[in-house]
Structure 1
Amino acid sequence: MYLGALELDILLGDVRSLKEKRSVIRPVIAALARYGVSVAETGDHDVYRRTEIGVAVASSDVNHVNEILDTCERAVAARPELQLLAARRRMFGPED
């Protein structure tokens, strides 16, 4: 079994409150969840214009894990209301 984790560091557009931040992040998380991954806001909870979203996926095929994480990263990068600053990826395999 392989586990892939993706951390997405995101800068949000014109957001002036935590309530606005949640209204921007909620649809992003919902869209990523459609790919069959576990996804949540994992950092920068109290900062208006920044967030970190964590994505995790497990599969018996390492190539499938990479494809899903690539798809998630591209989906976030394509959203015009935010800017993807960094994406960090970790892979865990049977030997870990």
Structure 2
Amino acid sequence: MWIGWIEFDVLLGDVHSLKGKRAVIRPIMAELRRTTEASVAEVGEQDLHRRTVIGLGVVSSAPDRVTETLDRAERLVADRPEVTLLSTRRGLHRSDD
């Protein structure tokens, strides 16, 4: 079994409240879930209005499938015009590592 994860450090656009932040990141997280069938959550910077860290995790029997899913998720976040993707971190591990 292969386990992959990716974290997106994201700068939000014109957001002035946590409610506004949720309005921006919820559709992004929903699209990530729908298009990748992976687990997605806000995993950092919850108390800041204009920053967030979104994490995505995926499990597969093949490492190529995991890498493809992580790449697709990264393109999806990078292509969103309402946010700026500042950085990503990712990992890929076998279950017996």
TM-score for both structures, normalised by structure 1: 0.98
Deviation of residue 92 (structure 1)?
Answer: 1.2
SS in 2 for 1:4: strand
Q: 2:82 is matched by which residue type in structure 1?
A: E
What residue in structure 1 maps to residue 14 of structure 2? 14
Moved over 4 A (4+): none
SS in 1 for 2:49: coil
SS in 1 for 2:81: coil
Q: 2:59 is matched by which residue type in structure 1?
A: A
What residue in structure 2 maps to residue 69 of structure 1? 70
- Structure 1: gaps spanning 5 or more residues: none
Q: 1:8 is matched by which residue type in structure 2?
A: F
TM-score for both structures, normalised by structure 2: 0.97
- Structure 2: gaps spanning 5 or more residues: none
| Residue 90 (1) aligns with residue 91 (2) | yes
Distance in 2 of aligned mates of 1:94 and 1:26:
30
Listed one character per residue, the Cα deviations across residues 25-73 of structure 1 (whole Å, up to 9, x for unaligned) are 0000000001100000000000000000000000000000000000000
- Corresponding pairs, count: 96
